[in-house]
């Protein structure tokens, strides 16, 4: 049986109708990053046969048995989630202008369906869990809008990309290239990670095994939070490309938003690759998996079941490991008894990068490692934020100043102090002390700190920051780029009040100042501060020393 249809089936063309007609007067929805990825793949035909965002009937059948309402195999919902407020003004039959964050009209949606999904049930069915540590479940339950709009999408202008423009292809462009190059059999390799020697071995073997050319097809839309950024990865892929025999292999970038949906997502990946004109698709261990939600070979099993219906052949691959005695990579199952197997996990690899430790040649290529070291310097070259929190008068500013001076004395990084009072003067002068305003204030500080950290500097922040969730959000924002050290200056309220350096506590008690932290407004104690300082038995100098030691221990100094 030959289940291979060279260069895919029919592609959907969503640009065939003039979607821009009267678009100026339509209600506008600004697409978020995930929705922009989805619409790009809808519009360029990578999601063929979908013609738009799913309606309720498709959505429900996809969740129940991985098929569209008409029976076509389709594993995951592709839906447009919007806010309740926006949905209230849109009924089936209406048209909606879909725009990018700059306001550029990308497409028009002809709304055919509007409904409120049961998002927990969706999470369970689509991803097999309700656990919000799964990134797609987190999006679904914590970030997505509560109403879905479904309907046909009329393409106006594909989302633009200024990076790696020559490496981006629509399915039609890719198919045209394959046919121009005479590539009748093409095996695609999906990845969201930098590629090392094991990946080269897998792809090389796969291509040889099925006598096909190779398409390295990395995802550069949205991947798992914490993954290595796509700019660095693409530069690595470009280095690696030179290691393949000439004219056998090509590289193209896919602007997909991954859900980390394991087996169901693997099925989606296969459909997309078929649409791109590939005849074979490599499925490795734990394909598109995250955490322990899916078995390591579950994706392979599912795809094998649907292979003939899919119209793309699956090339399953076991994990490749390096056998020291043979000095070569072999599939795990081919390791003989007594042989020494070497392997570096993704986590271990990142640890070595972070600490500037050696990464041996058997694991990767020097040019790939050098590329990654440029954008992922060891911790002692990364930026960091020291975030003080505590009551007014607790001593935050005094310790922050002492710390700043000591860090300047050490040298090597720029140091910026974002003190509570200073920020209120320069950044937040229009804000008061309501919960809403305090949150805006802290988020501004967090944003500035994350930019400083990203640029390799040190940000020392010293606001009261009374709310746990806001501090948590700032931690998340900064940690993406470097270190985040929370310091709780835990001076007791009685001490702060007794000191009352600015006379504010007296005013707060007298009711002259309203919403005063600790008196008439809450302070939520930190649960995960890296350091807690009791100024009653610790001088500012000693406190700053403790912080320096902590920074040392964490590897930042
Ligand atoms: S917050 O909650 O983090 O936004 O507060 P922050 O910007 O750090 O507050 C800075 C200083 O404002 C003075 N101040 C008050 N603090 C708390 N509550 C009320 N209502 C208030 N009104 C004025 C206070 O002196 C804070 O400075 P520090 O340095 O913490 O004493």
Q: What is the CATH number of the domain that holds 482?
A: 3.40.50.300
Segment (H or E) for 96: strand 95-99
Q: CA-to-CA distance for 509 and 233, rounded, in angstroms?
A: 57
Task: Tell me if 152 sits within 8 A of 110, measured CB to CB.
Answer: yes
Structure tokens at 44: 């360029």
Instruction: Give the pairing of strands 249-251 and 213-218.
Output: parallel
Q: Is 437 in the pocket of ligand 1 (CB under 6 A)?
A: no
Residues in CB range of 506: below 8 A, 6 or more apart? 500
416 and 544 share one domain: yes
**Dihedral sign computed on CA atoms, order 462, 463, 466, 471:** negative
Task: Tell me if 139 sits within 8 A of 133, measured CB to CB.
Answer: no
Instruction: Give the pairing of strands 28-30 and 95-99.
Output: parallel
**What integer pLDDT is reported at residue 226 of this predicted model?**
80
Q: How confident is the model at residue 456 (pLDDT cuts 50, 70, 90)?
A: very high
Q: Where are the alpha helices (DSSP H) in 285-377?
A: 298-310, 346-355, 366-375
Atom of ligand 1 nearest to the CA of 433: 20
Q: How confident is the model at residue 17 (pLDDT cuts 50, 70, 90)?
A: low
Residue 420 lies in a domain: yes
Q: What percent of the chain has pLDDT over 90?
A: 87
- Name the E strands within 408-457: 415-419
Report which protein residue has its CA nearest ligand 1's atom 15: 516
Instruction: Give the pairing of strands 320-323 and 341-342.
Output: antiparallel
**What integer pLDDT is reported at residue 7 of this predicted model?**
54
Tens of pLDDT, residue by residue over 311-326, are 999 999 988 899 999 9
- Domain limit, last residue, from 94, 127, 155: 155
Residue 354 lies in a domain: no
Task: Tell me if 148 sits within 8 A of 233, measured CB to CB.
Answer: no
**What integer pLDDT is reported at residue 479 of this predicted model?**
93
Looking at residues 83-106, what average pLDDT do you find? 96
Among 97-106, 352-361, 521-530, the least confident range = 352-361
547 and 443 share one domain: yes
Active-site residue (options: 79, 191, 213, 250): 191
Residue 353 lies in a domain: no
Residues in CB range of 167: below 8 A, 6 or more apart? 234, 251, 252, 253
Measure 463 CA to ligand 1 centroid, in angstroms: 7
**What integer pLDDT is reported at residue 549 of this predicted model?**
97
Q: Where are the alpha helices (DSSP H) in 455-528?
A: 468-479, 493-499, 504-509
Measure 155 CA to ligand 1 centroid, in angstroms: 50
120 and 172 share one domain: no
Tens of pLDDT, residue by residue over 47-89, are 999 999 999 999 999 999 999 999 999 999 999 999 999 999 9
Task: Tell me if 415 sits within 8 A of 457, measured CB to CB.
Answer: yes
Looking at residues 170-188, what average pLDDT do you find? 97
207 and 290 share one domain: yes
219 and 130 share one domain: no
Q: CA-to-CA distance for 405 and 408, rounded, in angstroms?
A: 5
Domain count, the chain: 3
Length of the chain: 557
**What integer pLDDT is reported at residue 5 of this predicted model?**
45
Structure tokens at 489: 């200056």
Q: Is the bond preceding residue 49 a cis peptide, omega within 30 degrees?
A: yes
Give the three-class secondary structure for 148: strand
Structure tokens at 103: 């306001």
Task: Tell me if 264 sits within 8 A of 126, measured CB to CB.
Answer: yes
Task: Tell me if 332 sits within 8 A of 318, measured CB to CB.
Answer: yes
Q: What percent of the chain has pLDDT over 70?
A: 97
Residue 206 lies in a domain: yes
Measure 492 CA to ligand 1 centroid, in angstroms: 16
Report which protein residue has its CA nearest ligand 1's atom 20: 516
258 and 134 share one domain: no
Q: Let me know if 193 is a catalytic residue.
A: yes
Q: Which domain holds residue 307?
A: 165-321
**What integer pLDDT is reported at residue 280 of this predicted model?**
98
Atom of ligand 1 nearest to the CA of 393: 31
Residues 507-542 as b/e (b if ≥16 CB within 10 A, e otherwise) read: ebeeeebeebbbbebebeebeebbbebebeebebee
Residue 348 lies in a domain: no
Q: CA-to-CA distance for 511 and 64, rounded, in angstroms?
A: 59
Segment (H or E) for 10: none
Q: How confident is the model at residue 1 (pLDDT cuts 50, 70, 90)?
A: very low
Whole-Å CA distances, 386 to 380, 476, 479, 529, 541 = 15, 13, 11, 11, 16
495 and 397 share one domain: yes
Structure tokens at 370: 């050098």
105 and 30 share one domain: yes
Q: CA-to-CA distance for 542 and 536, rounded, in angstroms?
A: 12
Q: Looking at the predicted structure, is the pLDDT value of residue 6 above 80?
A: no
Q: Looking at the predicted structure, is the pLDDT value of residue 175 above 60?
A: yes
Looking at residues 409-427, what average pLDDT do you find? 93
- Domain limit, last residue, from 155, 182, 204: 155
Measure 430 CA to ligand 1 centroid, in angstroms: 14
Looking at residues 192-214, what average pLDDT do you find? 95
- Domain limit, last residue, from 97, 123, 155: 155
Q: Is 517 in the pocket of ligand 1 (CB under 6 A)?
A: yes
Residues in CB range of 59: below 8 A, 6 or more apart? 77, 79, 117, 148, 150
Tens of pLDDT, residue by residue over 348-392, are 888 888 888 999 999 999 999 999 999 888 888 999 999 999 999
Average pLDDT over all residues of the chain? 94
539 and 418 share one domain: yes
Residue 233 lies in a domain: yes
Residue 487 lies in a domain: yes
113 and 246 share one domain: no
- Name the E strands within 247-370: 249-251, 280-283, 313-316, 320-323, 328-331, 341-342
Q: N- to C-terminal Cα distance for the chain?
A: 63
In the numeric block, the tokens 């849109």 are attached to 90
Classify burial at 501, counting beta carbons within 10 Å of its beta carbon; exposed 0-12, middle 13-18, buried 19 or more. Answer: exposed
**What's 10's domain CATH number?**
3.10.400.10
256 and 316 share one domain: yes
**What's 183's domain CATH number?**
3.40.50.620
Tens of pLDDT, residue by residue over 257-307, are 999 999 999 999 999 999 999 999 999 988 999 989 999 999 999 999 999
**What integer pLDDT is reported at residue 33 of this predicted model?**
96
Atom of ligand 1 nearest to the CA of 397: 29
Tens of pLDDT, residue by residue over 211-236, are 999 999 999 999 998 888 999 999 99
Residue 91 lies in a domain: yes
Task: Tell me if 281 sits within 8 A of 188, measured CB to CB.
Answer: yes
Tens of pLDDT, residue by residue over 121-173, are 999 999 999 999 999 999 999 999 999 999 999 999 999 999 999 999 999 99
Tens of pLDDT, residue by residue over 470-504, are 999 999 999 989 999 999 999 999 999 999 989 99
Name residue 219's beta-bridge partners.
254
280 and 426 share one domain: no
């Amino acid at each position: 049986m030959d289940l291979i249809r060279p260069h895919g089936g029919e592609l959907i063309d969503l640009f065939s109708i003039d979607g821009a007609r009267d678009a100026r007067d339509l209600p506008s929805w600004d697409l978020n990053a995930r929705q922009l990825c989805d619409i790009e793949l809808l519009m360029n035909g990578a999601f063929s046969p979908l013609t738009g965002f799913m309606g309720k009937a498709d959505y429900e059948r996809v969740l129940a048995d991985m098929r569209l309402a008409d029976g076509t195999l389709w594993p995951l919902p592709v839906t447009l989630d919007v806010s309740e407020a926006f949905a209230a003004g849109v009924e089936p039959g209406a048209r909606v202008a879909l725009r990018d964050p700059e306001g550029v009209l990308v497409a028009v949606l002809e709304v055919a369906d509007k409904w409120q999904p049961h998002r927990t049930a969706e999470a369970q069915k689509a991803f097999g869990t309700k656990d919000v540590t799964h990134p797609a479940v987190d999006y679904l339950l914590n970030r997505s809008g509560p109403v879905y709009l479904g309907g046909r999408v009329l393409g106006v202008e594909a989302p633009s990309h200024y990076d790696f423009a020559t490496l981006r292809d629509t399915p039609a462009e890719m198919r045209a290239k394959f046919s121009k190059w005479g590539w009748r059999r093409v095996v695609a390799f999906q990845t969201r990670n930098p590629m090392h020697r094991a990946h080269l071995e897998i792809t090389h073997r796969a291509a040889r095994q099925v006598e096909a050319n190779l398409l390295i097809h990395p995802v550069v839309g949205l991947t798992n939070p914490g993954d290595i950024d796509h700019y660095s990865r693409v530069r690595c892929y470009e280095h690696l490309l030179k290691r393949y025999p000439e004219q056998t292999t090509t590289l193209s970038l896919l602007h997909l938003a991954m859900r980390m949906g394991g087996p169901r997502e693997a099925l989606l990946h296969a459909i997309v690759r078929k649409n791109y004109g590939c005849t074979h698709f490599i499925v490795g261990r734990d394909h598109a998996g995250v955490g322990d939600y899916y078995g390591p070979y579950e994706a392979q099993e599912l795809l094998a079941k649907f292979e003939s219906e899919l119209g793309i052949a699956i090339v399953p691959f076991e994990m490749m490991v390096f056998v020291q005695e043979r000095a070569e990579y072999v599939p795990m199952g081919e390791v003989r008894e007594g042989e020494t197997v070497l392997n570096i996990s993704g986590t271990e690899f990142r640890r070595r990068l972070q600490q500037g430790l050696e990464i041996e040649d058997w694991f990767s290529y020097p040019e790939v490692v050098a590329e990654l070291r440029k954008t992922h310097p060891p911790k002692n070259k990364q930026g960091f934020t020291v975030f003080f929190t505590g009551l007014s008068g607790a001593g935050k500013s005094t310790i922050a100043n002492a710390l700043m001076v000591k860090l300047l004395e050490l040298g090597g990084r720029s140091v910026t102090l974002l003190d509570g009072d200073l920020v209120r003067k320069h950044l937040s002068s229009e804000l008061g002390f309501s919960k809403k305003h305090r949150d805006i204030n802290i988020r501004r500080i967090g944003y500035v700190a994350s930019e400083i950290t990203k640029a390799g500097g040190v940000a020392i922040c010293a606001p009261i920051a009374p709310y746990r969730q806001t501090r948590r959000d700032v931690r998340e924002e900064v940690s993406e780029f470097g270190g985040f050290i929370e310091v709780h200056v835990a001076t007791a309220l009685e001490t702060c009040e007794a000191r009352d350096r600015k006379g504010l506590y007296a005013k707060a008690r007298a009711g002259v100042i309203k919403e005063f932290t600790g008196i008439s407004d809450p302070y939520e104690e930190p649960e995960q501060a890296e350091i807690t300082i009791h100024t009653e038995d610790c001088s500012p100098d000693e406190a700053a020393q403790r912080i320096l030691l902590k920074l040392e221990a964490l590897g930042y100094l």
